[in-house]
Chains A and B, each alone.
Chain A
Amino acid sequence: MARQSTRSTDSKKMNSELFTLTYGALVTQLCKDYENDEEVNKQLDKMGYNIGVRLIEDFLARSSVGRCQDFRETADVIAKVAFKMYLGITPSVTNWSPAGDEFSLILESNPLVDFVELPDNHSNLVYSNLLCGVLRGALEMVQMAVEVRFAQDTLRGDNVTEIRMKFIKRIEENLPAGDE
């Protein structure tokens, strides 16, 4: 256990290409292990979810962000703080629904897909679906149920990468009593 004690919290010590390659190896292995793309998408989402429920604690510890009381605030924090912190990019927040419960994150670039060309036989694969799971898991831990999906993806020939997020509800049973 002692070796752990020497680790630092420096976030910039890992080569990002190694990370991209690791993610690529993971996705291709999943493609081998599962029959169809939908199943792979589901697995990626599940893994992302498990990352998200832990990552949120790290996020809260490192940033001084408090509880969001408005979905617009949540969108801002995700785009400007969280994406910046973990992926080094700042997506833009657009396409708000009239009720203010749905918006899009437009990613100019996506570090996960740096070297990726999607083969024709994987037309239904949502390569970066892990991100959806991360967002869903992290927000669930702060009592927000959301639906996250890729609406556009440069990998599939779209001009931009668009992640669509929809607010479903506050998870009241997890909300500590007396919480405003």
Chain B
Amino acid sequence: MTVHNLYIFDRNGTCLHYSEWNRKKQAGISKEEEFKLMYGMLFSIRSFVSKMSPLDMKDGFVAYQTSRYKLHYYETPTGMKIIMNTDLGVPSCRDVLHQIYSTLYVEYIVRNPLCVLGEPLQSELFTSRLDSFVRALPFFSVRAA
């Protein structure tokens, strides 16, 4: 099992943070374009899902999987979105993503008055904390170290 990469977007679609761990394939476009494509896809999935659903939803879209990876999605009521790609063996990650929001983002970014909200995150502390948090996840293991 493994974690491939992680994206954090704000409510306006700005990619605040991106990190990757075991990523074997790049999308073949620049990072900026990739972020736009990812955000656009999520935007469309949300609209797709809310139209398509035969029932009233609470959380809405939570995850999708392809033959090779699983995308986990978490969104706060303020519109911040956290996306984590893992392999197929990883179970639901909602709690993990919520923890990244509450114990890392709110703790190191929102509460730090010097961090400007709505701009890509510059905080080294946040980045290193996030890195150790993800590496410590039970399903994080580097297959080919």
Contacts and interface: CB of A to CB of B under 8 A. Distances in A.
A121 interface: no
A9 B47 contact: no
Contacts of B51: 178
B19 interface: no
B101 to A, nearest CB: 6
A57 interface: yes
Contacts of A4: 108, 112, 125
Given A1-B124, A4-B125, A177 B106 contact: no
Nearest to A65: B77
A140 B19 CA distance: 30
A180 interface: yes
Interface in A132-168: 141-143
Contacts of B29: none
A9 B46 CA distance: 33
A54 B115 CA distance: 11
Chain B interface main SS type: helix
Contact of B78 (A9, A60, A62, A178): A60
A56 B50 contact: no
B36 interface: no
Interface of B: 11, 43-51, 56-58, 60, 75-80, 101-103, 105-108, 110-112, 117, 123-125, 129
Interface of A: 1, 4-5, 9, 53-54, 56-58, 60-62, 65-67, 141-143, 174, 176-180
Given A57-B80, A180-B60, 9 more contacts: A54-B110, A56-B78, A57-B110, A60-B76, A60-B77, A176-B43, A177-B47, A178-B47, A180-B56
